[in-house]
Amino acid sequence: MQRAVFDGMGPIDTATRAIRQYLDDRRVIEIMLNMDGRVWVDRAGEGMVLTETVMTPDDAEIFLRCVATESNTTVTRSKPSLAGTLPHWGARVQGLIPPVVKSPIFALRKPAALVFSLGDYVDKGVITAEQKDALTRAVLDRCNILVGGGTGTGKTTFCNALLRVMAEETRDRLHIIEDNAELQCLAPNHNIVRTTRSEYDTLAAVYDALRLRPDRIIVGELRDGTAHVLLKGWRTGHPGGVATIHADSTSGMLDRIADLSEEHIHPANRASIASTVNVCVHLTLDPTSEAGRRLSGIDRVVGYDRRNDRWLLEPLI
C-alpha cells in the first residue's frame, strides 16, 4: 500500500522521498504543505519547523488524488476539499486544491507512534509530580475527564497517557470511539470503533457502545450533539470516560460541551454537565518548553452557579 500511494506521483523525486522519510520518522507528528510549496513538520519535543523540502503544485495535486483513490473518494475542482487516510501509516490527510487555494495544500496527521506515560510528562516538565498523582487518582476513582486545547496541542497524546493508566492499573473493559486511528490502548480488554461521516457516525457509535458492555467509554473528539449522549452514558453506569474537545480554557471546554449538547437538546442542562464532567485538563502550544506544549489548566469541576452563569472550578492540586 505504501508504494501504491507514492508510485501514483510518478518518479520518486527529492520531495516525495523526503515526505516518506517524515512519515517513517517516529518523532514527526504532522507534515504540512503550504501554498508556496514549502513543507513544514511538527516534531515531538521540537515543535513546528520549516524543512528544506519543496513540492511542486502538480506533484501535490497528484498526491492528493492518489490519497482520494485510496480513501474511496474524489477530489476535483468542483469538490476541492479532501479528507482521507494514508493506509500504510494510518495518517489522517486533509487537503485542498484550486480553485479554493492558489496551489494545493495539505496536512498529514500521523497517529501517535509512542505512548507516553504521565511520568514522561513530568520528565518533560509539562506536569508536576503532584499533578501526575492527582490525575492517576482521578482515573482510578473513575472520574470523567475532558482534555481540551487547540489544534496540535497534544490532546490525543495526553489521552493516550490516561489510557495507559487504565491499562496498567485496572482491569476495565474500554470502548474507544474515534474517526481516525490516533488513540493507542494497551489494555487487554478493549475495542476500538472507527466512525465515518455518513455510514456510521459518532452518535450511532455512542448509542451502540451503551449496549456493548463497556466499563469506560472514550471518544477521540467531541464536535457535535454526540456530547449530550456521551454525558448521559457517563452518568448512567459508565463513569471513568475520557474525551477531547477544542476550547481555549478549562471553563471554555465546559461552555463548548454545553453548546454541542444543545444540538441535541435545548437548553443544555449546565448543572448536569457540571455534575458529570469531573476534571478538565487544558493544553496549549509553547515553543519555549522542551515538549513544545504546556499544561495551561487542570481543574476539578465543583458545580455550576446558575445565578451568576458561571462554572465553579478549582485546581485539581
Residues 192 and 252 occupy one common structural domain: yes
| Residue 118 in this model has a pLDDT that exceeds 70 | yes
Residues 82 and 164 occupy one common structural domain: no
Residues 70 and 172 occupy one common structural domain: no
Q: What's the pTM? A: 0.79
Q: What mean pLDDT is predicted for residues 7-24?
A: 69
Confidence grade of residue 114 (pLDDT, cut at 50, 70, 90): low
Confidence grade of residue 240 (pLDDT, cut at 50, 70, 90): very high
For the stretch 35-74, pLDDT in tens is 999 999 988 767 789 999 999 999 899 889 988 888 888 9
Q: What mean pLDDT is predicted for residues 196-220?
A: 89
| Residue 9 in this model has a pLDDT that exceeds 80 | no
Whole domain around residue 224: which residue ranges?
A: 118-315
Tell me the DSSP string of the chain: -HHHHHHTTSS--HHHHHHHHHHH-TTEEEEEE-TTSEEEEEETTTEEEEEEEE--HHHHHHHHHHHHHHTT----SSS-EEEEEETTTTEEEEEE-TTSSSS-EEEEEPPPSS---HHHHHHTTSS-HHHHHHHHHHHHTT--EEEEESTTS-HHHHHHHHHHHHHHH--PPEEEEESSTT-----SSEEEEE--SSSS-HHHHHHHHTTS--SEEEES---STHHHHHHHHHTTT--S-EEEEE-SSHHHHHHHHHHHHTTTSSS--HHHHHHH--EEEEEEE-TTSTTSEEEEEEEEEEEEETTTTEEEEEE--
Confidence grade of residue 285 (pLDDT, cut at 50, 70, 90): confident
In the chain, the number of structural domains is 2
Residues 85 and 227 occupy one common structural domain: no
